[in-house]
């Protein structure tokens, strides 16, 4: 995955990339959790990608359900990946591998 596919500027230290779909209830809760974590940790950005509108990217990354969250380090490498709604503590712990 390249930075261009994100459709937004990545975080300075890490990026939380969320793949969502329109009618996904857990996606809304995941959005709130990731926004909160990004606000708490300097240099971290949350980017949400509509899975239905980005099927090529979804296929390339092997995304099979929403929400799926990828944690990218400053260089854009995937350091953690999780499907389903994460717990805030797990997101913070995953960021430790990226920053």
pLDDT digits (tens, 9 = 90+) for 15-52: 999 999 999 999 999 999 999 999 999 999 999 999 99
How many other C-beta atoms are found inside a 10 Å radius of the C-beta of residue 5?
Answer: 14
Q: Are 44 and 17 contacting, i.e. CB atoms less than 8 angstroms apart?
A: no
Domain that holds residue 55: 12-95
What is the structure's pLDDT at 5? 67
Give me the number of domains the chain comprises: 1
Counting Cβ atoms within 10 Å, is residue 55 exposed (0-12), middle (13-18) or buried (19+)? exposed
Domain assignment present for 26: yes
Rounded to 5°, the CA angle 92-39-6 comes to 85
pLDDT: is 2 or 9 the higher one? 9
| Residue 3: inside a domain | no
């Amino acid at each position: 995955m390249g930075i261009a596919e994100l459709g937004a500027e990545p975080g300075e230290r890490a990026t939380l990339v969320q793949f969502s779909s329109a009618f996904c209830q857990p996606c809304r809760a995941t959005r709130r959790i990731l926004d909160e974590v990004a606000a708490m940790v300097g240099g971290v950005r949350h980017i949400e990608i509509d899975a239905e509108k980005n099927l090529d990217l979804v296929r390339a990354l092997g995304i099979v359900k929403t929400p799926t969250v990828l944690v990218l380090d400053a260089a854009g490498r995937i350091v953690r990946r999780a499907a389903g709604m994460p717990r805030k503590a797990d997101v913070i712990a995953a960021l430790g591998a990226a920053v």
